[in-house]
Amino acid sequence: LTATGREQAIGLARLLGRLELVEPLVLSSPRRRAVDTAKLAGLAVEETTEDLSEWNYGDYEGLTTEQIREHTPGWTVWTHACPAGETAESVQHRADAILTRAATQTAHRDVVLVGHGHFSRTLLARWVRLAVANGIHFRMSPGGVAVLGHDHGQPQIAAMNLTVD
């Protein structure tokens, strides 16, 4: 994490406190920046899981969108393949698995998922039963929080991109 990222993570403790979480089950990506973010936010990670890892960009890892578009015009992770990387189908499978797992716990406690940008947007899309590609329509800032819930038995995004700013 950068110094800014650490400040954002520490600030999340106040934001999460306002949510009045009930015995939260905290699942995190095993990547250090996710685990560190959770700890700095005052969360006790109960388990790390690859299901919360960021989208595997394969040959595009470390490249900017602009660099990729030099040879693949119009490329986005939402609309194009990542050579030697993860498919949208695979990402959807991971998202659905973690959401199903979380749903088994929410009758008794809250669940906090700590992950990464594109994958978090995938989770939002899948929660409201949209295709992975619809993740492009959701904004999640670094250190942003979304609250997923239900309205009359239907999945709902109760809050999205809450930040400490």
Tens digits of residue pLDDT in 39-50: 999 999 999 999
Tens digits of residue pLDDT in 6-65: 999 999 999 999 999 999 999 999 999 999 999 999 999 999 999 999 999 999 999 999
Cα distances from 1 to residues 20, 34, 117, in angstroms, run 26, 9, 14
Poorest-pLDDT segment among 89-93, 105-109, 144-148: 105-109
| Strand-pair category, 111-114 with 154-162 | unpaired
Q: What is the mean pLDDT of residues 96-115?
A: 93
d(CA 20, CA 26): 14
d(CA 94, CA 96): 6
d(CA 3, CA 112): 23
Tens digits of residue pLDDT in 80-95: 999 999 999 999 999 9
